[in-house]
Structure 1
């Protein structure tokens, strides 16, 4: 095995309260890696938020977004402070590993994801889709 950091042990996971504090006060941006549909149904209520899906829902199931890294790199630079979150903390962990392996320096995974955020009674927003 080469000396690259491919283990998820390199990812720092924080809880939703730590995430909220960092997002409120420390210049962090929240990257919600859930699907656009999930995001529109409700997301964390913070000032700096991006929805860049790590996976897409297809009729065959979920598939990895082939442009995920490219989309993050067009919206953020490698020195930005980023908190990555999803529904329960699994997709965000995988996305965090990808970002760290791509030399992003300040990545934190939000453990428990949006479900834990809601369970903790923290503020959420819903995006109404116009049909």
Structure 2
């Protein structure tokens, strides 16, 4: 199965191609521990900016069934979460936090996410980074 999406993002042309198959019997036969595997997929991101092309390939083994569109949603959803984690780390250095108390760590995480929402809504000087706004 195949899906392709092209969009203009951040001043560049991005083409995302997704390949997905649920034919995994051969893989399960080779590794009995992977009997829950439902599909194998690949995503290829090609970006074109200033006449230069760059390509990134990622491969996935998943237990999600439902075809290529479900695979696309899972991949895009995963990177949305990773992006949000990156924002938390860059803006608030969350990975360097040394809070040992689990309740305190959870509360700080909630406050950081609330602060990100507020920073995004500040009406002045949108060109500044979240870190500078903070």
TM category (shorter chain) comes to under 0.3
More helix by share: 2
Structure 1 or 2, whichever has the larger Rg, is 2
More strand by share: 2
If the length of structure 1 is used for normalisation, what is the TM-score?
Answer: 0.25
